[in-house]
Amino acid sequence: MDGALYGPGNDLTHTLTGTLGVHTVGIPQLAEMVKGKVATPLWTAWASIYCELFWQVLHHAARGHTTIGVLRLFGFNVFRNTYKPLLAQSVIEFWNRFYYYFKELLVTFFFLPTFTRLGSRLRRWPALRLFVAVFAAAFVGNMYYHLLQRTSLLVEGDVFEALYSLRSRLFYCLLLALGIFVSMRREQFRASQTPGSGRARVVLRILGVWTFFAIINIWNVRSDAPFFARVDFFLGLFGLAQAVS
């Protein structure tokens, strides 16, 4: 993907074009586009967010498979960390397949304790109970994990500055938590209905999951772009800003 899809400046671009004679598509990387300094057609911007999603899935799966492969060589029958997330038909299914052990970490330490403790208090409001538990895991737990990575700021006692530096990640976690909750509610509703059939329906569901994660990844991709530059890029995808022409 680095060599064939992304433009000059990637490690494999020269090898593919010079040795193999392959022409690159020249799609800008999302980390650069969210800065607002790359003027591209609208279709290129949309292609960039989907390519970033696919690249992250492949990159994350490769690293996870290496670790799992080593553990299995030593006889541990452990689950895969990543298992076909791009074939997921719902947001919650993608989240379960993309980063299994991180998801299990959040479920064990945040979702289940919150869901259990609210059992008696919110017995009459099961949707609210689920909503709070999902936000405890996907939002609070997720942010807490990444807040701990700001070691120097935390040691200095500047918690507010640490949180401010994670403002894009904060918004990403908010969107992720909302998406997971809505997806779980839809799965509960779908379980009580007659299952739909047809390949077209399956393809549309998969495309919907891709689009959701590709869009929220605008606030998750590693870049020094400020928060509002990412917002401008997002609005530009729909012709509401000048970041994308």
In the 3-class helix/strand/coil scheme, how is 62-116 assigned residue by residue?
HHHHHHHHHHHHCCCCCCCCCCCHHHCCCHHHHHHHHCHHHHHHHHHHHHHHHHH
C-alpha to C-alpha distance for 80 and 68, rounded to whole angstroms: 6
- Clarify whether residues 74 and 103 are in a common domain: no
Specify if 47 maps to a domain: yes
Task: Examine residue 129 and state whether it is found in any structural domain, yes or no.
Answer: yes
Are residues 49 and 75 both part of a single domain?
yes
* pLDDT digits 0-9 by tens, 61-93: 999 999 999 999 999 999 999 999 999 999 999
Shared domain check, 48 and 121: no
DSSP 9: T
The tens digit of pLDDT for each residue in 188-197 reads 888 777 666 6
- Asked whether the beta carbons of 220 and 201 are under 8 A apart, the reply is no
Same-domain pairing of 130 and 188: yes
Instruction: Say yes or no: 14 and 57 in one domain.
Output: yes
Q: How many domains does the chain have?
A: 2
Nearest CA among 125, 162, 132 for reference residue 146: 162
**Domain residues for 56?**
1-82+224-245
In this structure, the number of other CB atoms found within 10 A of the CB of residue 196 comes to 10
**pLDDT of the residue at 197:** 61
In a domain, 218, yes or no: no
pTM over 0.85: yes
Q: Do the domain assignments include residue 202?
A: no
CA 57, CA 79: separation in Å to the nearest integer? 17
Q: Distance between CA atoms of 11 and 16, rounded to whole angstroms?
A: 10
Q: Write the CB contacts of 44 (distance below 8 Å, at least 6 apart in sequence).
A: 27, 28
Is residue 8 domain-resident? yes
Residues 169 and 179 in one domain: yes
pLDDT of residue 191: 75
Q: What is the mean pLDDT of the chain?
A: 89
> Are 93 and 73 in a shared domain?
no
Asked whether residue 46 falls in the same domain as residue 137, the answer is no
Is residue 216, in this structure, part of any structural domain at all? no
* Residues 187, 99 within the same domain: yes
Supply the DSSP symbol for 224: -
Is the same domain home to 75 and 90? no
- Collapsing DSSP states into helix, strand and coil, what is residue 139? helix
User: Does residue 162 form part of some domain?
Assistant: yes
Residues 88 and 78 grouped into a single domain? no
Q: Is 239 left (phi over 0), alpha (psi -120 to 50) or beta?
A: left
Q: Does residue 62 sit in the same domain as residue 115? A: no
Q: pLDDT value at position 123?
A: 86
